[in-house]
Amino acid sequence: MRGRYKGWTPSYIDAHPSFSPRSIDPSDPFYEGRLVLEIGSGKGGFLVKTAALHPEIHFLGLERDVSSCGSAVKKAVEAELPNIRISNLDFDEAYEALENLSFEEIHVHFPDPWPKRRHAKRRLVYPERLKKILSLLAPGGRLEFRTDNDDLYAYFLESYPLAGGRLVEEPYPSEEAMSEYEERFRSEGMAIHRAYLERM
Pairing of strands 103-109, 165-168: unpaired
Separation between Cα atoms, residue 72 and residue 109, nearest integer Å? 15
Query: Is the separation of the CB atoms in 136 and 124 below 8 Å?
Result: no
In tens, the pLDDT along 46-95 reads: 999 999 999 999 999 999 999 999 999 999 999 999 999 999 999 999 99
Over range 2-6, report the average pLDDT.
Answer: 76
Tell me yes or no: is domain 26-199 CATH 3.10.129.10: no
Per-residue pLDDT tens over the stretch 104-151: 999 999 999 999 999 999 999 999 999 999 999 999 999 999 999 999
120 C-beta neighbours (distance < 10 Å), count: 14
Is 112 designated active site? Answer: yes
Ramachandran bin of 154, using left for φ above 0, alpha for ψ from -120 to 50, beta for the remaining angles: alpha
What distance in Å separates the CA atoms of residue 64 and residue 42, rounded to the nearest whole number?
A: 9
Q: Among 14, 25, 28, 112, which one carries the catalytic annotation?
A: 112
Strand order in the sheet with 193-199: 84-87, 58-62, 35-39, 103-109, 137-147, 193-199, 165-168
- Domains of the chain, by residue range, sit at 26-199
Please answer whether residues 43 and 68 qualify as being in contact, where contact means their C-beta atoms are separated by less than 8 angstroms. Answer: yes
Alpha-carbon 44 to chain mean position = 9
